[in-house]
């Protein structure tokens, strides 16, 4: 499966899987950006990222974090 910036929920799930011990409340948008680029399935232009996209990933991850 290929991930792009439009795949915010799938990216959030993958980040949650790869970083299970992270306190989501302390994660920055810069960390989300860096970690997303490191995902082997991620294949999009890094320059297309913006705060809205990164925040959407954060929100999806947070929802999964608090709802288990």
CATH at residue 38: 1.10.10.600
Asked if the structure places residue 56 within a domain, the reply is: yes
Asked if the structure places residue 46 within a domain, the reply is: yes
Cα–Cα distance measured from residue 49 to residue 2, given in angstroms and rounded to the nearest whole number: 16
Summarised one tens digit per residue, pLDDT across range 33-62 is 999 999 999 999 999 999 999 999 999 999
The answer to whether the beta carbons of residues 53 and 47 sit under 8 Å apart is no
Where in the sequence is the domain holding 20, given as residue range(s)?
8-67
Number of structural domains (the chain) is 1
Asked if the structure places residue 51 within a domain, the reply is: yes
Asked if the structure places residue 3 within a domain, the reply is: no
Asked if the structure places residue 30 within a domain, the reply is: yes
Give the pTM.
Answer: 0.94
Asked if the structure places residue 2 within a domain, the reply is: no
**Residue 68 pLDDT greater than 80, yes or no:** no
Asked if the structure places residue 38 within a domain, the reply is: yes
**Residue 32 pLDDT greater than 90, yes or no:** yes
Summarised one tens digit per residue, pLDDT across range 5-26 is 999 999 999 999 999 999 999 9
- pLDDT at residue 30, rounded to an integer: 98
């Amino acid at each position: 499966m290929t991930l792009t910036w439009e795949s915010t929920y799938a990216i959030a799930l993958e980040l949650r899987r790869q970083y299970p011990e992270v306190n989501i409340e302390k994660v920055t948008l810069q960390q989300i950006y860096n970690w997303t680029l490191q995902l082997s399935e991620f294949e999009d232009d890094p320059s297309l990222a913006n705060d809205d996209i990164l925040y959407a990933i954060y929100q999806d991850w947070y929802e999964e974090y608090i709802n288990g």
